[in-house]
DNA sequence: TTCGGTGCAAAAGTTTTGCACTAGC
DNA sequence: GCTAGTGCAAAACTTTTGCACCGAA
């Protein structure tokens, strides 16, 4: 089970700081949304957020959700997620982005997480060579897993 | 400029073979669509295909396009593409998937392609360790490029 | 007190469906 | 000739917008 390396509340603080930097207001709706997004496992869509919040007794409108998602993306806490050919916009928080790569089986849909020290080193070399400062990344290999190969 | 390693017509043949395997019909519409998709550079959406085909005098309806795209994805020639937080479904063909990775600058949007022998080796090792046979991949690093860092 | 933010209702888009007709096999 | 596939029109959904009201700073 993947555990976030950074606590949710510290990420909420980061978001509040980001809002202040941008001179945007820290509203109850935005706080509820960022907490829900950070607590989410895997990918989800706009409506999932509304349903989960409603289950907690918090009512946030669709327009507000759609207006808040881009802020979460801009602030770096969220990213669109598209492993398969969904027709809708799915999202995923970025808490697990570091050091977790994915092997995706095109036959059974199984997703295997992995880490690799050699991969780490190769990427550091690439960054140095191109003068690129990497912040986040997405590494996905598509193919056949050990059960389907 | 990136050149496909495999010719378009051989990929069209592959698609025809795939259709036959699935006992699906090889229609004019499907052939026109697969050719257009394979000839496309970068990301595009359903309507782009219709417009380009119409410019060539071929008329293919939206429903047919939407019904064909999943076939192209299933057959491995196409994949959804989501570099940024677009609200619509964009696609990209998989011709250039091999040996081209991306550095994406979050500040200026610049996309730098790179290859790395060490990365190659690291990925081979990962596959071997997990009994995974990789067919395609997507490797994207998000961060600041040499001009924005 | 002042604007930016929210919710509602309606609009705008995109993707899907039902059905009659067409064309691949 | 039989079916799967196509196009049209309409429906279904997701996402956006206009506007009046509310609440954070």
A149 occurs within a structural domain? no
Distance B95 CA to D6 C1' (A): 28
Two structure tokens written together for A46: 């706009």
Per-residue pLDDT tens digits for B96-112: 666 678 887 766 767 78
Domain annotation covers residue B1: no
List the single best residue of B71, B98, B139, B145 to mutate versus A (max A Cβ within 10 A): B139
Task: From residue B46, give the alpha-carbon distance in Å to each of A20, B41, B43, B80, B141.
Answer: 39, 14, 10, 11, 27
d(CA B51, CA B47): 6
- A31, A57: one domain: yes
User: Does residue B149 fall inside a structural domain?
Assistant: no
Which residues lie closer than 8 Å to B91 by C-beta, 6 or more apart? B37, B43, B44, B45, B46, B69, B78, B79, B80, B81
Instruction: Tell me the nt nearest to B29, Cα to C1'.
Output: D6
CATH number for A108: 3.30.1490.190
Domain-ending residue, one of A93, A110, A134: A93
How many domains is chain A partitioned into structurally? 2
Question: Cα(first)–Cα(last) distance of chain A, in Å?
Answer: 25
Cβ contact, residue pair B112, A130, below 8 Å: yes
**Range with top average pLDDT, A43-47, A79-83, B41-45:** A43-47
Clarify whether residues A46 and A72 are in a common domain: yes
B51 and B82 belong to one structural domain: yes
Chain A, chain B: beta-carbon pairs less than 8 Å apart: 142
Nearest to A134 among B76, B138, B143 (CB): B143
Looking at the structure, tell me whether residues A46 and A88 fall in a common domain.
Answer: yes
Does one domain contain both B80 and B57?
A: yes
* A98 band by pLDDT with thresholds 50, 70 and 90: low
Residue of A141, A146, A147 to mutate for B, most B C-beta atoms under 10 A: A141
Residue of B nearest to A46 (CA): B87
Average pLDDT over residues A67-95: 75
Q: Alpha-carbon dihedral of residues A113, A117, A122, A125, nearest 10 degrees?
A: 130
Give nearest nucleotide to A89 (CA–C1').
Answer: D14
Average model confidence (pLDDT) across chain A: 84
pLDDT at A11 over 70: yes
Structure tokens belonging to residue B13? 């043949």
pLDDT score recorded for residue A91 = 76
Beta bridge partners of A78: A93
- pLDDT at residue A65 greater than cutoff 60: yes
Q: Higher-confidence residue: A140 or B129?
A: B129
Instruction: Tell me the pLDDT band of A2, cut-offs 50, 70 and 90.
Output: very low
Record: contact B135-A143, CB cut-off 8 A: yes
Q: Which two tokens stand for residue B12?
A: 């069209």
Query: Given pLDDT bands bounded at 50, 70 and 90, which one contains residue A52?
Result: very high
For chain B, percent of residues with pLDDT exceeding 90:
46
Q: Are residues A130 and A85 in the same domain?
A: no
Average pLDDT score, chain B:
84
**Segments forming the whole domain that contains residue B106:** 101-143
């Amino acid at each position: 089970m993947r555990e976030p390396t950074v606590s949710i509340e510290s990420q909420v603080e980061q978001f509040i700081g980001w809002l202040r930097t941008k001179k945007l207001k820290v509203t109850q709706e935005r706080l509820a949304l960022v907490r829900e997004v950070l607590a989410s496992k895997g990918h989800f869509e706009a409506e999932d957020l509304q349903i989960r919040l409603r289950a907690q007794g918090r009512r946030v409108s669709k327009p507000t959700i759609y207006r808040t998602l881009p802020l979460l993306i801009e602030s770096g806490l969220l990213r669109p997620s598209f492993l398969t050919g969904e027709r809708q916009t799915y999202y995923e928080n970025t808490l697990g982005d570091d050091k977790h790569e994915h092997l995706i089986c095109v036959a059974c849909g199984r997703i295997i997480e992995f880490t690799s020290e050699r991969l780490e080193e190769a990427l550091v070399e690439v960054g140095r060579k191109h003068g690129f400062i990497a912040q986040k990344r997405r590494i996905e290999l598509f193919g056949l897993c050990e059960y389907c190969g």
